């Protein structure tokens, strides 16, 4: 068995994907080049692999990976299977003791990967660990979260002020927490390292989720199996964010709420599910009012207005379906 499998699911993010693969390669070469006795080299002494699953990209991503990184194992899908299913394809063929899931719009900084490996080596009951994410400008991006609450459902559609946006009410841990390792509910799916043993015990990602919430669902199951989850801030990863979902914002909007409602149905009590649907419905009306105002003042085109209105209607129909 190898020490590590790096798994990246990509959809129309060719240039960012290549940057991500380059950063992984540089990080691993530095680890191996540190000498047999170095901590980094020992962390990957049995070797590693990189697996890319391309979800039917049309921007030449697969060809670019084959040409530029011939040692990367490439899985090419004929259609977009979604994030969870594509990751599961890679899990099935992977050989690593640890599995590192990265978004293609991330870039590994320094020895981030071996920092995560060494953390799991030190703490045998840690089943999942993430690093500290940074925005493109180097500022902190939250990588660790609490499980969804009704406040978070409200803030999804009616954004609060900056203070509340980064507060416990919105599921965030304080910025000062990112100074040392701390226990978390779940990481952002952009970067998470998971033990093979965890996957063997709780199973892979649930394919009920096409996009969004699959990592939350997985972490709930992992915690129920009595594993602990952590953030190791010494491992820093640049995350540009939303590069795939921004290509189809209205579909992504619908998929977000489809996944949220699926998550609530699986794990939350009837009162919570009813309250969440009411909050989402009110938030959608508020969002629609803003959209109509922007349309009437010429800030939004007719096609944009109709597409987002159609997305709102789809989410309303999901609220009724999940009732």
pLDDT in tens, 207-222: 999 999 999 999 999 9
Measured CA to CA, the distance from residue 70 to residue 311 in angstroms comes to: 40
- On whether the CB atoms of residues 42 and 114 are closer than 8 A, the answer is no
Does residue 53 sit in the same domain as residue 130? yes
SS3 content of the chain, % helix, strand, coil (to 5): 50, 20, 30
Does residue 90 sit in the same domain as residue 203? yes
pLDDT in tens, 48-65: 999 999 999 999 999 999
Does residue 283 sit in the same domain as residue 182? no
- Region 304-315: mean pLDDT is 96
Q: How many other C-beta atoms are found inside a 10 Å radius of the C-beta of residue 204?
A: 19
Cα 123 versus chain centre, distance: 23
Q: Is the pLDDT of residue 35 over 80?
A: no
Residue that is written with structure tokens 């990751």 in the block: 87
Measured CA to CA, the distance from residue 235 to residue 144 in angstroms comes to: 13
Count: domains in the chain: 2
Does residue 311 sit in the same domain as residue 224? no
Does residue 75 sit in the same domain as residue 158? yes
Q: What is the mean pLDDT of the chain?
A: 94
Query: What is the pTM for the complete model shown?
Result: 0.94
SS3 155: helix
Does residue 83 sit in the same domain as residue 105? yes
Where residue 135 sits, what CATH number does that domain have? Answer: 3.90.550.10
Q: Is the pLDDT of residue 229 over 80?
A: yes
First to last CA, the chain: 46
Q: Which domain holds residue 117?
A: 2-241
Q: Is the pLDDT of residue 187 over 60?
A: yes
Contacts of 216 (CB under 8 A, 6+ apart): 147, 148, 186, 263
Closest CA to 179 of 141, 112, 238, 233: 233
Q: Is the pLDDT of residue 244 over 60?
A: no
Q: Which helix (H) or strand (E) element contains residue 164? A: helix 162-165
Q: How many other C-beta atoms are found inside a 10 Å radius of the C-beta of residue 323?
A: 9
Does residue 258 sit in the same domain as residue 312? yes
Band of residue 247 on the pLDDT scale cut at 50, 70, 90: confident
| pLDDT at residue 44, rounded to an integer | 85
User: What's the token pair of residue 263?
Assistant: 């998550």
Does residue 150 sit in the same domain as residue 277? no
Measured CA to CA, the distance from residue 73 to residue 163 in angstroms comes to: 44
Closest CA to 28 of 140, 83, 106, 108: 108
Band of residue 180 on the pLDDT scale cut at 50, 70, 90: very high
pLDDT in tens, 254-295: 999 999 999 999 999 999 999 999 999 999 999 999 999 999
pLDDT in tens, 103-136: 999 999 999 999 999 999 999 999 999 999 999 9
Does residue 235 sit in the same domain as residue 259? no
| pLDDT at residue 38, rounded to an integer | 75
pLDDT in tens, 11-32: 999 999 999 999 999 999 988 8
Asked which of 195, 223, 241 is the last residue of a domain, the reply is 241
| pLDDT at residue 45, rounded to an integer | 84
Asked which of 205, 226, 241 is the last residue of a domain, the reply is 241
Q: Please give the angle made by the CA atoms of 251, 264 and 182, to the nearest 5 degrees.
A: 95
Does residue 263 sit in the same domain as residue 213? no
Task: Tell me whether strands 2-10 and 48-54 are parallel, antiparallel or unpaired.
Answer: parallel
Contacts of 264 (CB under 8 A, 6+ apart): 148, 272, 273, 276, 322
Asked which of 241, 270, 298 is the last residue of a domain, the reply is 241
Does residue 262 sit in the same domain as residue 230? no
Does residue 301 sit in the same domain as residue 209? no
Closest CA to 10 of 50, 53, 49, 70: 53
- On whether the CB atoms of residues 96 and 201 are closer than 8 A, the answer is no
């Amino acid at each position: 068995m190898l020490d590590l499998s790096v798994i990246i699911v990509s959809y129309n993010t060719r240039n960012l994907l290549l940057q991500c693969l380059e950063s992984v390669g540089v990080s691993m070469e530095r680890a191996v080049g540190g000498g047999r006795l170095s901590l980094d080299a020992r962390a990957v002494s049995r070797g590693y692999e990189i697996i890319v699953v391309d979800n039917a990209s049309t921007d030449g991503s697969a060809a670019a990976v084959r040409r530029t990184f011939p040692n990367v194992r490439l899985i090419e899908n004929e259609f977009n299977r979604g994030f969870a299913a594509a990751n599961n394809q890679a899990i099935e063929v992977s050989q690593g003791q640890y599995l590192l899931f990265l978004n293609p719009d991330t870039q590994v900084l320094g020895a981030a990967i071996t920092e995560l490996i060494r953390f799991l080596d030190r703490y045998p009951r840690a089943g999942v660990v993430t690093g500290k994410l940074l925005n493109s400008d180097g500022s902190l991006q939250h990588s660790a979260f609490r499980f969804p609450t009704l406040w978070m459902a409200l803030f999804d559609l009616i954004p609060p002020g900056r203070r509340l946006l980064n507060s416990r009410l919105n599921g965030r841990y304080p910025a000062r927490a990112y100074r040392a390792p701390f226990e978390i509910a779940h990481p952002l799916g952009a970067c998470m390292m998971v033990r093979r043993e965890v996957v063997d015990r709780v199973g892979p990602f649930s394919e009920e989720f096409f996009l969004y919430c699959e990592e939350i669902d997985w972490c709930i199951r992992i915690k129920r199996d009595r594993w602990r989850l952590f953030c190791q801030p010494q491992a820093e990863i640049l995350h540009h964010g939303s590069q795939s979902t921004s290509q189809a914002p209205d579909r992504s909007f619908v998929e977000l709420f489809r996944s949220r409602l699926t998550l609530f149905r699986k794990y939350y009590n009837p009162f919570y599910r009813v309250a969440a649907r009411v909050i989402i419905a009110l938030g959608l009306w508020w969002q629609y009012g803003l959209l109509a105002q922007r349309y009437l003042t010429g800030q939004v085109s007719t096609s944009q207005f109709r597409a987002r209105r159609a997305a709102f209607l789809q989410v309303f129909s999901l609220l009724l379906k999940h009732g």
